Amino acid sequence: MNWDQLQLKPRIISAVQRAHLKSFREVLVSSEPDLQKMTGLSRPDVQELLHAAASACRTRQPITALQLQRGECRRLESGLRLGTGCPVLDQLLRGGLPAGGVTELAGASGAGKTQLGLQLCLSVQYPVEHGGLSAGALYICTEDPFPIRRLQQLISEQPSLRSDVPPSLIGRLRFSDNIYLEHAADLDSLQVCLSRRAALLLAQGRVRLVVVDSVAALFRSEFQPGDWLERNKQLLTVSSMVHHLSHEFTTPVLCINQVTDVFHQPESSSSSPSSSVSPALGLAWANQVTVRLMLRRLQATVSRGDQSSALRRLEVVFAPHLAQSSRDVAVWREGLRGVLDPVLDPVLAPFGPDVAQQKMVLPLRLGSV
């Protein structure tokens, strides 16, 4: 640590070196009396030292929200969103997944979480004007093997999903070349993967999306019920790693989570009012995510031509910039698409989409989507 780069008096620098303080961080996490004891400096000198260390630690000056909105500071919050490929879902998410935070997608098995993860791995490769981030994706599987056949099917059906993009552009993109697969069988390998492989790929600019499918699997299998303290620590470690990646490289991170049953108590003050399942891993994990989405399977089905699909609902449980709302979603050959009934919606659109959903009847006939 080169203390000379700080503008400090020589006696302070020599005292610091005598005390074997190795970095600015070490200086900052010690309290003033501790520093005085360690270095033998007087109070004003210690304050000067702390001030210099703090200035060195601060990565950037405060900027105004106006500058942020105008995009004058790309690093802090670009306002970029990763589109999902379906305009209905993009409208629900006000553009898509935020590029600077951790998004959680929870749902029961068979709800379609992996499908959405795959769809995002493809949509990230489009250029920014088409809702992508012009880079690949890193997909970390922790339980099931990667559904490679489904990915190939999605790739071949991209032109029908993305009718807004010129086919020549779609043809030019080498989708499968830009999706990096990793398998993490336990927590240690997940941490290694995130800290080394993911960081390297992100730094090289080859990927701009990290999908962890799923977070819950590792935590639920490795810990006994009594080990919750250790489990929480590991949760926090993984969370701090993904947050660090997300903010360092302005990358959306999608963590897929499972659900657990809850028994309703008379006053459930800890969770938002919803049905009898809630995302797994508890409050400790819930505090760490920026955006929480839930995907639920409904009883209804929709049909379109020769395909039929069970209806799902994608719900925004909480997000700093989104209202609590939901959209119905169907899974087709080409991917997930939001479902809006064109007969009812033009009439009821002013009243909000949830009124339209109340009137949903089964089965639903789709017009043009």
Partner 1 sequence: MFQRSEKNLWRFLVPIGVLCSDSATRFATRLSLNSTQPSVKSHLLEPDFFFFLLTWRSAGSTHSEAGVSQQEALEALQAASSGHGVAAVTALELLQKEEEFRSIVTFCSQLDEALGGGVPVGKVTEICGAPGVGKTQLCLQLAVDVQVPAVFGGLGGQVLFVDTEGGFQVQRLVDLAGAAVRHCSLLAEDEEQRVAMTTFTVETILSNVFLVRCRDYVELLAELHLLPDFLPDRPRLRLLVIDSVAFPFLHLHDDLSQRTRLLQGLGLRLIAAATDHNIAVVTTNHMTTRLRGSQAQLVPALGDLWGHAPSIRLLLRWEESRRLASIVKSPGHMDATVQYQITCQGFRDADQSEQPQSKRPRTQTDQSASSRENTRT
Residues between 337 and 356 that touch partner 1 (CB under 8 A): 349-354
Can you tell me which of 5, 59, 168, 224 binds partner 1, judged by CB under 8 A?
Answer: 59
C-alpha dihedral sign at 47, 50, 55, 59 = negative
CB of 214 closer than 8 Å to CB of 173: no
CB–CB of 132/326 below 8 Å?
Answer: no
Q: Identify which of 76, 56, 59 has the alpha carbon closest to the alpha carbon of residue 68.
A: 76
Q: Could you give the CA distance from residue 251 to residue 253 in angstroms, rounded to a whole number?
A: 6
Taking CB under 8 A as the criterion, the residue among 33, 166, 171, 367 binding partner 1 is 33
- Chain positions 213 to 242 lying near partner 1, rule: CB under 8 A, are 232-233, 236-237, 239-240
Q: CA-CA distances (angstroms) from residue 361 to 1, 300, 311, 343, 352? A: 68, 8, 12, 12, 17
Tell me if 335 contacts partner 1 by CB under 8 A: no
Among 1, 262, 284, 310, binds partner 1 (CB under 8 A): 284
Among 1, 19, 50, 155, binds partner 1 (CB under 8 A): 50
Q: Binding of partner 1 at residue 65 (CB under 8 A)?
A: yes
If the CB atoms of residues 168 and 269 are measured against partner 1, the closer one turns out to be 269
| Among the residue ranges 14-22, 62-70, 109-117, 123-131, the one whose residues contact partner 1 (CB under 8 A) | 62-70
Q: What angle do CA 199, 116, 326 make, to 5 degrees?
A: 120
Give 142's contacts (C-beta < 8 A, 6+ positions apart).
183, 184, 185, 190, 212, 213, 214, 215, 217, 218
Task: Tell me: does residue 270 bind partner 1 (CB under 8 A).
Answer: yes
* Least separation in angstroms between CB 178 and partner 1: 26
- Among 14, 55, 109, 156, indicate the residue that binds partner 1 (CB under 8 A): 55
Binding mask 109-148 for partner 1 (x = CB under 8 A): ----------------------------------------
